[in-house]
Amino acid sequence: MSFLILVRHGQSTWNLEKRFTGWVDVDLTDTGKSEAKKAGFLIKEKNIKIHFYYSSLQLRANNTLKIIQNVLNDEKKFTRAWQLNERHYGSLTGLNKMEMSKKIGEDKVYEFRRSWDIKPEALDKKSPYHPQNIKTYDSIPRKILPDTESLKDTYERVTKYFGEEIKKKLENNNVLISAHGNSIRALCKNLFVLDNNQISNLEIPTGNPLTIELNKNLKIIQCEYLDKERAKNLLVF
């Protein structure tokens, strides 16, 4: 038996401002830091020893994980992987979701946010929000930096990395992943075998640990959000 814990980062500054964030590297708000701290205490109460930690390359996910580890008094190094990054929102990056809803309609914004395979227009490479202009991504070959992504694109890179690098660790160990709304939705689609309509309706709350118990064959026994008051419907459990 092992545990996989998925934690979406705590509230970020651009979450608060309702802006499309994607690969832009913004930090946590005070509320986000409190959410991360509470996540740590909830995991501590479950008395689950974490053997391996993973995060995206992004500051908000990294700092969420550091706060959790601090609560757990765990100084293990964690693995950072760009493959666990948030979905890239292309030309929508930095724009306010409410303003865009007024400009192009709520249905269109929802389509961009939640559809399976529709991508926003590509982000101009000259934009300061383009990954090639953000220092965080200097180590990644430019040819693989995205200009835009659909949820399908995000799913493919996240699940490939999970299958190649993380899944084998779960055979005898507990793993915690600190990531993002869409990268965690991608993992949930894979783990819970959700169809494309279900994944469109799946909400991932910030800073609320989703604890998944697995048997020796890595089949799900049960799962739960640890913060019951902020839990979302998992659709299948």
Task: Point out the residues that are catalytic.
Answer: 9, 86
CA–CA dist 63, 67 (Å, integer): 6
Spell out the residues 6+ positions from residue 26 whose beta carbon is closer than 8 angstroms to its own. 12, 13, 14, 59, 60
CA–CA dist 116, 147 (Å, integer): 17
Sign for the CA dihedral angle at 121, 56, 203, 64 comes to negative
Backbone angles phi, psi at 103, to 5 degrees: -80, -45
Sign for the CA dihedral angle at 233, 7, 22, 84 comes to negative
